[in-house]
Amino acid sequence: MDFTNLIVGGKTVSVTQQTKALTLKELISRRDQLTKETGNYYGIKDLKLKNSDPVKYERFYSRLHASVLAAREVARYVTASPGSREMGESLWTLTTPEGDTLVISLGFFSHLTSSQVAIRFMADHYYDMNPGIRDGDVFVTDDGKTGGAPHPGDTYTYVPIVIDGEVIGWAMSVNHIMEAGAPVAGSWPGFSVDTFMDGFVIPPMKTGEKLRQFTWWEQLWKTRTRAGTLNNLDDKMRLAGCAIIHKAVHEIIEEFGIDYYKQAIREIIEESRLQILQNIRTLMVPGRYTSVAFRAVKYKGLQKLWVHADKDSLIHIRQKLEVNEEGGLYANFEGTSRWGYHAFNGYPGGADVAFYLSMINQFAHNTKPTGAISYVAKAHYPEGSIYNPDISTASFSNIWAQSMSMNTLGFNAINRALFSRGYMEEAFTADGNWEGIQGAGVLEDGTTYGFTNFESVGGAAMGAFSFRDGQPLAWAEWTQLPNIGNAEEFEYLIPPLFYIGRKLLPNFCGHGKFRGGIGDSSIHWIKNPGKQLGISRGGSQVAATTFVGLGMSGAYPAPSAFHVSARGSNTNELVQQGVALPRDASEVLEYAEQGILKAENLDVWKFDMPEQSFGDGDMLADAAGAAGGWGDPIERDPRSVLEDVVYGWVDRKFAEGLYGVVLKDHASGSLEVDEDATRSLRKQIIEERRQLAKPAFEWWRNERELVIKQDFIDPVRDMYEGSMSFQAFRDEMIHFWQVSDHFSG
């Protein structure tokens, strides 16, 4: 039955006609060739099934989509992992035999592109022959280079669907596991120097048959990770959902027929591709959107065993997003830092997972969300860069620490275009500054355990719009289901940690005419830690830099995450005395300044906190999830500033020093705006700005002198040297600063 006949390489080829079952490599080669030569996915120029019988076509798609939705809603209750069960850190998909996603469940949906990497690897290495690919086999991977995983904490399960010896699709699931088995405990292993410190990392590997895992596979989770029980339950969860999809697809093929199935899955992706192109044409303004972000890495003094890694670094994230008039989108990351001996590298598959977060969110909203996004929006990661190391041993244990900034640049480029188009309700300042507490311990009875607290991965603040403030905890770039989870979930997961505070943190936002959503802070009290408790952090950004170098229309960008630890503290004595303990990170510092809280080690971590040992009565507070503002703070309505002060979101000193709003005490005890004093203060602030302002040429000339002298601290100098090793960025630097072609950064 021939649905599509094409002229390829001088020969007439039918998309569905085959004389024998094609190997995985042949299937991928056919897909690539047809797509390249025709410009349409798999050579599909007409949506014949959709047009001839749209009801049947939509019913077919709905059946596929229902299978992955059911997989998620049923299977996530198999696991004991709060991140997957409660917070949506999981995903189920069905793909084509080549790994292009057809349908996705709720969850962190940008992982739909990783399957292209894993399936291509299996094809290139002839898995059909060894170990063989049979219906109901089980494959697992968490590798960045060969499996498309962003980091080892994201683990994928693949179940092939095979009919008459031919792979016709894959059921796939991914979730964020609780502990990755690295030297530094947690699911974002910190302070790794190379991939040999990343933990339990495996390429696509056959781990089971007939929808059952081998016994040795369960034992590996138990012996190679600190959270073996939870990781095994997560593994069973992924497989349970894949089994639901596997069964459903066989039933769908029995109803619709194999020929219809093969043609329809191609049409679904081509339909989606065409709609995404149209969405980009509708929403974007053709042109180039250039933006940057930075991420500090502090390893100096902490890597004595690995001298080559004993240095501080500044990661440069540079994105040029180009949109053409046809709707094609191309993101070039040339100029982004080179890979380094640290935990924050990644490979192209994992980088794509971050990049496609913004692309799918914005352009696949009114179509069938499929892998078609990768055929419309493309990214270039130069070889040797932090997103495409030219060695296979670079650590990739926490690419999310800087790729969330990369993804945010994409979001904000799109939001600037939306604003330019007049879609004000859709354009806001995007940030994704999440935080993660992780570690391991040994209980009094000798039981070992590992953990990750996903609380601040579940939700972050939404940034400001051009006409209203952002909202706290209302958004997450990586999921449709922002949810910080119940405190009780994490207390049973991490026995010694008890919440004594969980609240929004005053002043913790990007300020502006309209301020970003307030970030949140939690504080944990350690009780009965047993024989050992070590905690580190695995979050995205650190307070040493802003989350992104962007405040919309003159606003302040979002502040980044920080930690406060109080070890060897007097909290047990305070409780016995009836003194209330602090409830957020700021109050910990206030208590210490007032002499109420005493600690042998009181540390404010503006960089990644290395693993620290905590004892009974110690405290750990974190703050994250702030979002950027929109517009100049001095233009904010004084009544809005007053309201913020009254509700406790902004301190009175911020109101005056940052917003130029003077408040006075009313006789009734309430506050009110001093209109005359506010006008006078704002006039004074504007005049001070004028006095400090410089003509652009004068600023450029002064900065150029610093560039020529290379008058930078070591991390900045190293950053520029690495970025200028890429020719496009080097040319741009030489042109902008008007220096010699022989200039070395």
- pLDDT at position 611 is 93
Cα three-residue angle 235-238-242, rounded to 5 degrees: 135
* Of 475, 569, 459, nearest in space to 525 by CA: 569
- pLDDT at position 57 is 98
Give the strand pairing for 138-141 and 90-95.
unpaired
The span from the CA of 734 to the CA of 743, in Å, is 8
Cα three-residue angle 627-632-633, rounded to 5 degrees: 70
Give whole-number Cα distances, 30 to 129, 160, 171, in Å: 19, 19, 21
Q: How confident is the model at residue 549 (pLDDT cuts 50, 70, 90)?
A: low
Strands (E), 373-485: 377-380, 437-442, 448-453
Structure tokens at 3: 């649905």
| pLDDT at 10 > cutoff 80 | no
Please check whether residue 41 is in contact with residue 273, taking contact to mean a CB–CB distance below 8 angstroms.
yes
Question: Mind giving me the DSSP string for 687-703?
Answer: HHHHHH---HHHHHHHH
pLDDT, average across residues 298-325: 92
The span from the CA of 192 to the CA of 105, in Å, is 33
Domain boundaries, the chain: 22-274, 428-631, 636-686, 696-737
The one-letter code for the residue type at 316 is H
The span from the CA of 249 to the CA of 261, in Å, is 10
Residue 3, C-beta contacts closer than 8 angstroms, at least 6 positions apart: 14, 15, 16, 48, 49, 259, 263
Measured in whole angstroms, how far is the alpha carbon of residue 591 from the centre of its chain? 34
H/E stretch holding 72 reads helix 54-75
pLDDT, average across residues 515-527: 96
Q: How confident is the model at residue 3 (pLDDT cuts 50, 70, 90)?
A: very low
The per-residue b/e assignment along 299-312, b for 16 or more CB within 10 angstroms, e otherwise, is beebbeeeeebebb
| pLDDT at 2 > cutoff 70 | no
Please check whether residue 329 is in contact with residue 372, taking contact to mean a CB–CB distance below 8 angstroms.
no
Helix (H, G, I), strand (E, B) or coil at 96: coil
Q: How confident is the model at residue 692 (pLDDT cuts 50, 70, 90)?
A: very high
Residue ranges of the alpha helices (H) in 88-143?
114-124
* Of 385, 383, 398, nearest in space to 318 by CA: 385
What is the number of other CB atoms lying within 10 angstroms of the CB of residue 658? 20
Mean model confidence pLDDT for the chain:
93
Q: For a pLDDT cut of 70, what percent of the chain falls above it? A: 97
Residue 486, C-beta contacts closer than 8 angstroms, at least 6 positions apart: 82, 86
DSSP state of 630: B
The span from the CA of 170 to the CA of 148, in Å, is 15
Residue 336, C-beta contacts closer than 8 angstroms, at least 6 positions apart: 316, 317, 318, 319, 381, 382, 385, 386, 387, 406, 723, 726
* Of 167, 154, 137, nearest in space to 200 by CA: 154
Handedness of CA 690, 691, 696, 700 (dihedral sign): negative
For 403-461, the pLDDT digits (tens) are 989 999 999 999 999 999 999 998 999 988 888 899 999 999 999 999 999 888 888 99
Q: How confident is the model at residue 586 (pLDDT cuts 50, 70, 90)?
A: very high
Measured in whole angstroms, how far is the alpha carbon of residue 334 from the centre of its chain? 20
Give whole-number Cα distances, 376 to 279, 317, 357, 360, 371, in Å: 11, 22, 14, 11, 10
**Residue 131: cis peptide before it, omega within 30 degrees of 0:** yes
Residue 270, classified by CB atoms within 10 Å of its CB into exposed (0-12), middle (13-18) or buried (19+), is: buried
pLDDT, average across residues 719-723: 94
Q: How much is the CA Rg of the chain, to the nearest whole Å? A: 27
Structure tokens at 441: 């311990």
- pLDDT at position 87 is 80
Give the strand pairing for 663-665 and 671-673.
antiparallel
| pLDDT at 11 > cutoff 50 | no
Span of 131-135, 152-156, 270-274, 300-304 with lowest mean pLDDT: 300-304
Span of 481-490, 585-594, 688-697 with lowest mean pLDDT: 481-490
The span from the CA of 513 to the CA of 468, in Å, is 9
pLDDT, average across residues 275-280: 95
The span from the CA of 137 to the CA of 249, in Å, is 15
Give the predicted TM-score (pTM) of the model: 0.94
The span from the CA of 684 to the CA of 368, in Å, is 55
Question: Mind giving me the DSSP string for 576-611?
Answer: HTTPPPP-SHHHHHHHHHTTSS-EEEEEEESSPPPP
Give whole-number Cα distances, 620 to 114, 440, 522, 624, in Å: 35, 15, 8, 14
For 77-86, the pLDDT digits (tens) are 887 788 888 7
Residue 205, C-beta contacts closer than 8 angstroms, at least 6 positions apart: 139, 140, 141
pLDDT, average across residues 353-365: 90
- pLDDT at position 666 is 86
Structure tokens at 84: 């997957």
